[in-house]
């Protein structure tokens, strides 16, 4: 490809330079995210090789310890830091071009809390006092500092949200009656969803897990703790997904030389996510006693409703791609596909993610169907599902973002060599994830449980059909780790060594197509959407929670299962 194809100064958008304070703030978030990515990826490869029987570790390094490090570093730390960094960058760019000192102050306090919390939880995992996996189910009892660390990460992330809210509120005061920039609107929606969701886990950690781990209480109400966790756990997945959707909706149209299909549709999509993603946590608890079926059925129905905004996104993406291709002269039915910038990693990596999200999302619909869930629950199918969604759709999109955001922050050039390396890296990740998650779906259907260390179950015949898939799953870890090494190498280059630019790099923000309908202002009435969300949450959770608290089980003493 020609060098100019990735020269991020050449597209139509006016150049934009970050203020120094904003640059350092966002880079600080991305830097910690990348360290977590390295740790989590290394642990992922090692536990994958161990679980499939390729290697055997000395007993001192347990499978579950590596699995905890893998899950916490990637699912909780990498994602949170990367997302907040990305949202702060887009908020700075689209609201007056910069953050104010007060916004930065909130974000920095949040960053310090998240870094201290990350260090605490990582150290406790490393010294094997917190081998409780990323869901830290009670009554498994970790070091109290693990929970305190996670609480700091959560509260720190809220402060990142406060920074976004203050910038947004100031912009709206200054631009009364105007529709806010789409990126900032979506960032606000994402952080609203996050804060409402994390209330559940914050209550669980503060009132159940920390008292349990300090020994202040002898027993823990497991059903209640799991319910509070999953109240948080499902919207958590949309906290991961929505920033990827922001990129798909707002940034990609500019990269593919197209326009946004609509301004209202993405806003409505995000409002629907706030409404429907939270009252569905019971679909993770279909098999648990103590929750009446009616609430599980309601959760199943609402989960199928939360699929709708993703289906709207499929439609919007195809419309955006087709419009961009036709605007560049494509005439045949599918000729527009050829006009897409296949050699530009900023588009190509997220596109691979979108492709993987089709089977990943379909698997989610299977999970959500109450009866089908009986077949796949607690099998490797579920692990396969989230490697197609989180680890593929979301992560490939984050790769695409990083390839332009880091040079935009360091004012360096995304050279054609790094761009091409990024394409190879994205392919490696995509193939690695296929080798990883397709077999996981198959062995899951064949009954292989998830979250189990290497075992042949005393050579029981039930294991035989799983065996051919193990080498493939084990090998996938090597592809994925290699891909991460290439990615981090590219980031180091773009951060410190790539050629400097004399004019700022592009921050791609798409425009809405001219004939788009005006955006209804009701979409910006946050109190209304938050109140409706609260009503839905109350409908789904009040009776089961009151029941769990008023007629609690005797409680379970904390245990150390490792
Ligand atoms: Fe899920 C379990 C249901 C989406 C992550 N999920 C998990 C767990 C994780 C996770 C981590 O109902 C395991 C938690 C644990 O440790 O126990 N999930 C769903 C449903 C959706 C869904 C209905 N999940 C996600 C996303 C995740 C994620 C997104 C991470 C980012 N999930 C469940 C259920 C369980 C569950 C149950 C519990 C299972 C159990 O029993 O334990 C939906 O939101 C999915 C909707 C998505 C779609 C796909 C839309 C496709 C798009 C791409 C378009 C492509 C284009 C390009 C335009 C309908 C938008 C194509 C171009 C070409 C040319 C081809």
CA of 270 to the centre of ligand 1 (A): 16
* Residue in 104, 385, 412, 441 annotated catalytic: 385
pLDDT of the residue at 1: 40
Cβ-in-10-Å burial (0-12, 13-18, 19+) of 542 comes to: exposed
CA separation for the pair 93, 246 (Å, rounded): 14
Where residue 362 falls (left for φ over 0; alpha for ψ -120 to 50; beta otherwise) is alpha
pLDDT of the residue at 56: 78
Average confidence score pLDDT of the chain: 94
Q: State if residue 308 touches ligand 1 by the CB under 6 angstroms criterion.
A: no
CA of 388 to the centre of ligand 1 (A): 8
Average pLDDT on 122-146 reads 97
Q: Is 386 a catalytic residue?
A: yes
Q: Are 33 and 446 in contact (CB under 8 A)?
A: no
- For the cut 90, the answer to whether the pLDDT of residue 384 exceeds it is yes
Q: Is 377 a catalytic residue?
A: no
Q: State if residue 237 touches ligand 1 by the CB under 6 angstroms criterion.
A: yes
CA of 495 to the centre of ligand 1 (A): 33
Average pLDDT on 318-340 reads 93
Output the CA–CA distances (angstroms, integers) from residue 33 to 246, 262, 401, in the order listed.
19, 32, 13
Locate 310 and state its tokens.
């993703």
Where residue 459 falls (left for φ over 0; alpha for ψ -120 to 50; beta otherwise) is left
Establish how many alpha carbons lie within 13 A of residue 203's alpha carbon, considering only the half-sphere containing its beta carbon. Answer: 16
Q: Is 29 a catalytic residue?
A: no
CA of 76 to the centre of ligand 1 (A): 17
CA of 399 to the centre of ligand 1 (A): 19
What residue's CA is closest to ligand 1, atom 16? 135
- Please give the backbone phi and psi of residue 412, each rounded to the nearest 5 degrees, phi first: -120, 175
pLDDT of the residue at 282: 96
Q: State if residue 72 touches ligand 1 by the CB under 6 angstroms criterion.
A: no
pLDDT of the residue at 382: 98
Residue 150 banded pLDDT, cuts 50, 70, 90 = very high
What residue's CA is closest to ligand 1, atom 61? 355
Domains along the sequence of the chain with CATH = 24-551 (1.20.210.10)
- For the cut 70, the answer to whether the pLDDT of residue 14 exceeds it is no
CA separation for the pair 508, 246 (Å, rounded): 12
Q: b vs e for 104-116, b when ≥16 Cβ sit within 10 Å of the residue's Cβ?
A: bebbbbbbebbbe
Residue 55 banded pLDDT, cuts 50, 70, 90 = confident
Q: State if residue 224 touches ligand 1 by the CB under 6 angstroms criterion.
A: no
Cβ-in-10-Å burial (0-12, 13-18, 19+) of 119 comes to: middle
Q: State if residue 368 touches ligand 1 by the CB under 6 angstroms criterion.
A: yes
Q: Are 264 and 308 in contact (CB under 8 A)?
A: no
Q: State if residue 32 touches ligand 1 by the CB under 6 angstroms criterion.
A: no
DSSP 8-state secondary structure symbol assigned to residue 448: P
- For the cut 60, the answer to whether the pLDDT of residue 12 exceeds it is no
Question: Secondary structure of 112-124 in the HEC alphabet?
Answer: HHHHHHHHHHHHH
CA separation for the pair 557, 434 (Å, rounded): 41
Q: Is 387 a catalytic residue?
A: yes
Q: State if residue 395 touches ligand 1 by the CB under 6 angstroms criterion.
A: no
Q: State if residue 367 touches ligand 1 by the CB under 6 angstroms criterion.
A: yes
pLDDT of the residue at 13: 46
pTM (two decimals): 0.95
pLDDT of the residue at 391: 97
Average pLDDT on 438-466 reads 94
Q: Which of 476, 534, 541 is CA-nearest to residue 192?
A: 534
pLDDT of the residue at 3: 42
Q: What is the DSSP string of 139-158?
A: TB---HHHHHHHHHHHHHHH
pLDDT of the residue at 115: 98
Average pLDDT on 147-171 reads 98
Q: State if residue 284 touches ligand 1 by the CB under 6 angstroms criterion.
A: yes
- For the cut 60, the answer to whether the pLDDT of residue 11 exceeds it is no
What confidence tens digit (pLDDT) does each residue in 283-308 have?
Answer: 999 999 889 999 999 999 999 999 99
Q: Is 247 a catalytic residue?
A: no
Residue 10 banded pLDDT, cuts 50, 70, 90 = very low
DSSP 8-state secondary structure symbol assigned to residue 260: B
What confidence tens digit (pLDDT) does each residue in 202-261 have?
Answer: 999 999 999 999 999 999 999 999 999 999 999 999 999 999 999 999 999 999 999 998
Average pLDDT on 424-442 reads 98
pLDDT of the residue at 6: 52
Atom of ligand 1 nearest to the CA of 135: 16
Whether omega before 198 lies within 30 degrees of 0, making that bond cis, reads no
CA separation for the pair 35, 46 (Å, rounded): 17
Q: Are 553 and 223 in contact (CB under 8 A)?
A: yes
Q: What is the DSSP string of 38-67?
A: HHHHHHHHHHHHHHTTS----TTS-HHHHH
């Amino acid at each position: 490809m020609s060098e100019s194809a990735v020269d991020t100064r050449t597209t139509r958008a006016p150049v934009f330079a970050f203020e120094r304070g904003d640059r350092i703030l966002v880079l600080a978030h991305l830097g910690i995210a990348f360290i977590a990515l390295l740790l989590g990826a290394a642990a992922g490869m090692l536990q994958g090789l161990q679980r499939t029987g390729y290697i055997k570790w000395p007993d001192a390094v347990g499978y579950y310890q590596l699995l905890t490090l893998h899950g916490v570093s990637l699912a909780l730390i990498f994602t949170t830091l990367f997302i907040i960094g990305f949202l702060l960058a887009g908020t700075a760019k689209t609201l007056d071009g910069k953050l104010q000192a007060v916004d930065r102050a909130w974000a920095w306090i949040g960053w310090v809390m998240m870094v201290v919390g990350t260090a605490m939880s990582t150290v406790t995992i490393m010294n094997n006092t917190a081998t409780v996996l990323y869901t830290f189910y009670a009554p498994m009892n970790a070091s109290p500092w693990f929970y305190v660390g996670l609480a700091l990460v959560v509260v720190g992330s809220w402060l990142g949200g406060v920074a976004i809210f203050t910038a947004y509120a100031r912009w709206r005061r200054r631009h009364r009656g105007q529709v806010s920039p789409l990126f900032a609107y979506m960032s606000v929606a994402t952080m609203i969803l996050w804060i409402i969701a994390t209330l559940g886990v914050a209550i669980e950690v503060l009132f159940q897990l920390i008292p349990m781990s300090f020994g202040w209480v002898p027993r823990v109400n497991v059903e209640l703790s799991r319910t509070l966790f999953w109240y948080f756990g499902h919207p958590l997945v949309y906290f991961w997904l929505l920033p990827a959707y922001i990129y798909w909706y707002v940034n990609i149209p500019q990269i593919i030389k197209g326009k946004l299909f609509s301004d209202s549709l993405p806003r409505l999509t995000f409002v629907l996510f706030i409404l429907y993603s939270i009252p569905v946590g019971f679909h993770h608890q279909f098999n648990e006693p103590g929750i009446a079926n009616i609430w599980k059925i309601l959760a199943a129905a609402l989960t199928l409703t939360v699929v709708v905004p993703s289906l709207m996104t499929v439609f919007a993406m195809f419309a955006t791609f087709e419009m961009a291709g036709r605007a560049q002269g494509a005439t045949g039915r599918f000729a527009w596909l050829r006009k897409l910038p296949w050699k530009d990693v900023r588009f190509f990596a997220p596109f691979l993610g979108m492709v993987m999200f089709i089977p990943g999302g379909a698997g989610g619909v299977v999970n959500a169907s109450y009866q089908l869930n009986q077949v796949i629950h607690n099998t490797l199918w579920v692990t396969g599902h989230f490697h197609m969604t989180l680890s593929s759709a979301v992560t490939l999109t984050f790769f695409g973002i990083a390839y332009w955001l880091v040079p935009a922050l360091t004012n360096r050039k995304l050279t054609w060599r790094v761009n091409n390396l990024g394409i190879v890296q994205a392919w490696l990740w995509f193939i690695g994830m296929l080798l990883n998650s397709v077999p996981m779906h198959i062995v899951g259907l064949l009954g292989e449980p998830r979250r189990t260390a290497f075992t042949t179950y005393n050579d029981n015949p039930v294991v035989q059909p799983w065996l051919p898939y193990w080498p493939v799953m084990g090998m996938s870890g090597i592809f994925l780790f290699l891909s991460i090494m290439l990615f981090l190498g590219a980031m180091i280059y773009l951060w410190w060594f790539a050629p400097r630019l004399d004019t700022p790099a592009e921050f791609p923000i798409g425009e809405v197509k001219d004939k788009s309908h005006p955006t209804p202002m009701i979409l910006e009435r946050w109190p209304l959407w938050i109140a409706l969300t609260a009503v839905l949450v109350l409908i789904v959770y009040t009776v089961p929670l009151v029941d769990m608290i008023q007629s609690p089980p005797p409680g379970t003493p904390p245990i150390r299962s490792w």
